[in-house]
Amino acid sequence: EKDDVNDLEDSYGQEWTRYQRQYLEWTGYTAFFVAIVVQQIAGLIIRKTRRNSIFQQGLFSSKVIWVGIASQITIALILSHGFGSVTALNFTVLRAQYWFVAVPYAILIWVYDEMRKLFIRLYPG
């Protein structure tokens, strides 16, 4: 894609300026990063225990997990709201709904892992 093209037309007939295309690309980078953070949080909760359900073990029993979750969210907020990283990482400010795009997949892998743990408990070995 050429940088000097300022009126690129998409398949819907909409024209996009170079700045609009670049902003859309940066939004994609940022949304991808936030999706990884959401999956990391889900993975942290899933890996709290290997056999017991999170309902048996309890999610609120470990303050270290909450520090980890809070630090991940804080870092993601700092990076996605600029503070000098816009030019270095090509991130941009996301709309609030983009933070929740990866949540259904996080729930899916959490449910899958709870089922896996159930089968481990029911059929040990």
> What are the tokens at 36?
């990884």
Report mean pLDDT in 10-residue bins for the chain, 125 residues.
Answer: 67 80 87 92 85 74 84 88 65 86 93 92 86
The pTM of the whole model exceeds 0.75: yes
Burial of 101 from C-beta contacts in 10 A (0-12 / 13-18 / 19+): middle
Q: Which helix (H) or strand (E) holds 9?
A: strand 8-9
CB distance 31 to 101 below 8 Å: yes
In Å, how far are 19, 42, 57, 76, 109 from 36, measured between CA atoms?
26, 10, 25, 10, 13
DSSP letters spanning 45-91: HHTT-SSS-HHHH-STT-HHHHHHHHHHHHHHHHHHT-TTHHHHH--
Tell me what pLDDT residue 26 has: 87
Tell me what pLDDT residue 80 has: 81
Domain boundaries, given as residue ranges, for the chain: 8-122
Tell me what pLDDT residue 122 has: 92
Tell me what pLDDT residue 93 has: 84
